[in-house]
Amino acid sequence: MEIDVNTAIITEDDWRNPIITYLQYPTLPFEKRVKIMALNYLMWNGDLILKSKDEVLLRCLGKKEYMKVMGETHEVICGAHQGRRKMCWLIRRYGYFWPTMMKDCIDYSKGCESSQRHGPIQQAPSVPMNPVVKPWPFRGWAMDLIGKIYPASSQQHCFIIVATDYFTKWVEAKPIKSTTSQEIITFIEEQIIQRFGIPESITTDKGSSFISREMLDIAEAFKFKLLQSTPYYAQANG
């Protein structure tokens, strides 16, 4: 398959810009890092070309170009919705390159709706499910984090911690700047214990902030159970 990618204008934030400038004006002062990188590249008909280890010349692409290449490789008539590694291999075979190829192919493949619908079923580890039986309000809470949120608020809050009561579905939420255990402990003390009393249990996922030593200590101090929800089953966590 041949993909038609027109020559794009090199912008200031384009990763190719310093290398092209050095190749065109090698007498100007440049960082040592740029000089070392430029050893693997050459200019040909106005395009930046990578000299790969297998002696194949690969045309270097900017963001607009490589987004088009990934779309045509993955989704159009000749695309078979390949996995991330196969997709990256095909793009190199077609003669294109950019430094973050593997990461971008992974992100593109994850965001493809057809790949998610028809891909293999994700196998979660075998873990017993925890039944949720709360006959009274505010006895059991489910807690989770939302974020990281871009852009952050004016006060640099970029996460939201949310707690839901299993019985009434009452929600408590608070914006936070970081996801440390101390932030979560402060939320539990101020938004749950001081307002609704000591709960019987709090259910969380297995994030490092929720299963830390500090969280186990506060659960022991207030005599409530700290439970973990079933992996890959978000409904169990409120």
The pLDDT, as a whole number, for residue 2 is: 47
Spatial separation of the C-alpha atoms in residues 229 and 236, rounded to whole Å: 6
pLDDT at residue number 188: 93
Residue 181 lies in a domain: yes
* Residue 229 binned pLDDT confidence (cut-offs 50, 70, 90): confident
The model scores a pTM over 0.85: no
pLDDT for the residue 186: 92
Domains of the chain: total: 2
CA atoms within 13 A on the CB side of 205: 14
**pLDDT tens per residue across span 34-78:** 888 888 898 988 889 998 887 789 999 988 888 888 888 877 655
Query: Is it the case that residue 234 has pLDDT exceeding 80?
Result: no
Which of 50, 84, 118 is the endpoint of a domain?
118
CA–CA distance, 116 with 197 (Å, rounded to integer): 43
pLDDT tens digits, 83-139: 778 888 888 888 899 998 898 888 887 777 676 666 666 665 666 665 667 778 898
Partners of residue 43 on adjacent β-strands = 48
- Considering the domain architecture, whether residues 41 and 101 belong to the same structural domain is answered as yes
Cis peptide before 137 (omega within 30 of 0): no
Whole domain around residue 144: which residue ranges? 140-237
> Cα 183 to chain center, whole Å?
22
Are the beta carbons of 178 and 188 closer than 8 angstroms?
no
In a domain, 131, yes or no: no
pLDDT of residue 165: 92
148-206 residue pLDDT tens: 888 888 888 899 999 999 888 999 999 998 889 999 999 999 999 999 999 999 988 88
- Per-residue pLDDT at 125: 63
On whether both 229 and 144 belong to a single domain, the answer is yes
pLDDT on residue 192? 93
46, 103: one domain = yes
First to last CA, the chain: 48
pLDDT at position 164, please? 92
Mean pLDDT of 209-235: 82
- Please state, as a whole number, how many other Cβ atoms lie within 10 Å of the Cβ of residue 83: 16
pLDDT at residue number 107: 85
CATH number of the domain at 89, please. 1.10.340.70
Give the CATH number for residue 188: 3.30.420.10
User: What whole-number distance in Å separates Cα of residue 231 and Cα of residue 129?
Assistant: 9
